[in-house]
Structure 1
Amino acid sequence: MTGPVWTGVLTIGLITLPVALHKAVESHDIAFNQIERGTSDRVRIRWVNERTGTEVDFRDLVKAFDAGGGEYLAIEPEELEEAIPEKSRKIKVTEFVNFSDVSPLYFRASYYLDPRGKGHAKIYQLLAYAMERSNRAGIATFSMRDRMYLAAVHAERGLLTLHTLYFPDEVRDPRRGLDHMPAEERKFTDDEFRMAERLIDLLTVAWDPWNYTDARHEQIRRTVEDKLANREINSLRQSLASLGGTVRGPGRGESRSRPIANDATTKGSGGRGRTGKPGRRKGTVHEDISGLTRKELYRRAQELQIPHRSTMNRQQLHDALLRATR
């Protein structure tokens, strides 16, 4: 587990428990970078002055409030810090509520509370046991990363957890702004209600989060793995080709092979094609391409429709172009 995102103390009445806050969840999303198509060149975002078009150093950026009419009111970091009341390293529980009464709509993020030091294990376990047995949650406020948070401290499987909550004015009223919400009065019969209950009963199972997977994530992961494997095979094929070896083509079980073309394939024909007529192969390059960049080589390969060009490095593109234009 990574390091804590916050350290301080949890206070409940006269009890003070030093704790560290750790993220309870982590993202397994596959990270992508932006590159220019046909190259391995990263593309980065730059901060640009909208009026002058010049790049702005990150150190010169400041938050601003839109005052309207194209005017902005700059707010300095020091002024933002002053706006945080009671900035301290304290999670102060002021009251307890039934945890089941807190609507999931209010939950923002979840964290584990870790006691800072083995000497606090007993009081930590006592609080966790009492809260879990009673299904109560301690409501608290605390500051983290220059923001004030409302939080619910709860216990699960012997561990103290903290869930940051949205403030009530941040939770939208579904009756305002949603056009097709049904009226509050019920318009169904008892038989209809029993059928709905029966359907729910038939589909009810014990909750097990491991029964569910992120199908999109799995598909992207397989796509990346397949492309990596294909690139390795293509690299091997290009390496063999550059050494004058034999390339085995794709197929369903068959192992077709063809010799790599060399200078003897076209020499002796006086620049004639297979029909013996003078001609020039489409896309033939007569100038020296050794000084071209990978991007330029890729564009030539694109014009000649060389397969697997996007998986090749610069040298492989160079060699493939030479073979294609002999």
Structure 2
Amino acid sequence: MRAIWKGAVSFGLVSVPVKLYSATESHDVSFRQVHAKDGGRIKYQRVCSIDGEEVAYADIAKGYETEDGEMVILSDDDMAELPSTSSREIAVEKFVPSNQIDPMLFEKSYYLEPEKSGAKPYALLRQALQDADRMAVVTVALRQRTSVAVLRVRDDVIVLQTMMWPDEIRRPDFSIETGEVKDAEVKMANMLVETLAGDFDAEEFEDDYAGAVEALVKAKVEGGEVKRTPTSTKSSGEVVDLLAALQRSVDAAKTARGETGAEAGEEAGEEEPAKKAPAKKTAAKKSTTKKTPAKKAPAKKAPAKKTAAKKSTTKKAAAKKAS
């Protein structure tokens, strides 16, 4: 994992330097909007709803729509004047009983890892939260906005969970009319609850929808129901993993078919010229080899002359010595 934020947890006079890691990731199945005819991806243009013209990124501003439908344009200077903070402090406001916080308020979870210098106070805070069975309500600045969050312990790791603001929780605007509920019905409902009672284990549940989608896609790939587009684009997250798995499925399907069909024929056709080319080069080499002796025939006499010259020189040297 890669740390996305660094700061310190402060409670009282104690400060615990920590790193923040995202504790969750989505494994939801992603689909692309494509042209059903050829599989090409659908592109969207940024078009103004008033004049119908495409708008460049440089001309796009932030707008706030009022309740009566009027649009207020906010410039970069306006946004710069808004209250923001870059504090690296996770400030503990109070410790509250765990059962007092509605789970609906929880938004996103992060793991807190202590720096080496903060390992001991980290362990003390973790133990205090466990012994008291309480959560620490904190304020923290993430993405330049102050948020309310809680600290709790999960598997010996302190987890920070950001919370929604109270006015972000919608209230139901409907009423439920149950009619008369008989004692016998309540008793039977209680018996049903006891029959299905048990401990929660997250491993008992799995995303059967994602598995079914992968099986469906694999079956279509093996059946040849694939649109081949001229270009491929990079994706991110689980889509990349899925495409890699599908590519392996394609390779396995080709192997199982023995590479029969149009594609196998094309590959075989490409190999034919490659085999003929070396044959032409070989013939050319043979032709050159036959001509070489005729051209080098005069060259063989040259060594003979040089040898004779050397012998003559040797005889003259010997004669001088003799005299």
Query: TM bucket by the smaller chain?
Result: 0.5 to 0.7
User: What SS does structure 2 have at the residue aligned with 1:149?
Assistant: strand
Distance 2:120 2:67 in 1: 56
Matched, 1:198 2:196: no
Candidates 214, 217, 221, aligned match of 2:210: 217
Specify the alignment match of 2:17 in structure 1. Answer: 18
What is the distance in 2 between the residues matched to 1:158 and 1:31? 34
Change (3 A) 1:38 1:15: same
Identical pairs, percent:
29
> Which structure has the greater CA radius of gyration?
2
Matching residue of 1:131? 129
Greater mean alpha carbon deviation, residues 39-48 or residues 127-136: 39-48
Label 1:97 to 1:72 Cα distance change in 2 as closer, same or farther (>3 A).
same
List gaps (5 residues or longer) in structure 1.
246-326
Instruction: Please say if residues 81 and 146 of structure 1, whose CA atoms lie closer than 8 Å, have aligned partners that are also in contact.
Output: no
Aligned to 1:50: 49
Question: What is residue 159 of structure 2 aligned with on the other side?
Answer: 161
Query: How far has the Cα of 1:189 moved from its partner?
Result: 5.0
Cα distance 1:188–1:31, how it changes in 2: closer, same or farther (>3 A)?
closer
Which aligned pairs between 1:1-326 and structure 2 lie closer than 5 A? 1=1, 3-67=2-66, 71-84=70-83, 86-115=85-114, 117-174=115-172, 177-178=173-174, 180-182=175-177, 188-231=181-224, 232=250, 233=253, 236=259, 237-240=261-264, 242=266
Which 10-residue stretch deviates more, 54-63 or 206-215? 54-63
Find the aligned partners of 1:207 and 1:76 in 2 and give their Cα distance. Answer: 50
Structure 2 length-normalised TM: 0.65
In structure 2, runs of 5+ residues without a counterpart are 225-249, 270-323
Q: Is the 8 A contact 2:107 2:163 kept in 1?
A: yes
- The alignment's C-alpha RMSD in Å is 2.7
Distance 1:145 1:77 in 2: 17
Distance 1:5 1:62 in 2: 28
Task: Name the structure where helix makes up a greater proportion of residues.
Answer: 2
> SS of the residue aligned with 2:171?
coil
Q: What secondary structure is seen at the aligned counterpart in 1 of 2:220?
A: helix
Q: Which residue of 1 aligns with 2:294?
A: none
Q: Deviations over 1:33-86 (max 9, x none)?
A: 333223243322221122232222223322111246664111234433543355
How far apart, in 2, do the equivalents of 1:114 and 1:153 lie? Answer: 12
Worse-superposed segment, 3-12 or 87-96: 3-12
Deviates more, 1:227-236 or 1:202-211: 227-236
Partners of 2:139 and 2:148 within 8 A in 1: yes
Q: CA deviation at 1:91?
A: 1.5
1:145-182 Cα deviation digits (max 9, x unpaired): 233321111111211001111221221223xx12x324
Is the 2:18–2:118 Cα contact (8 Å) retained in structure 1?
Answer: no
Match of 2:223, SS?
helix
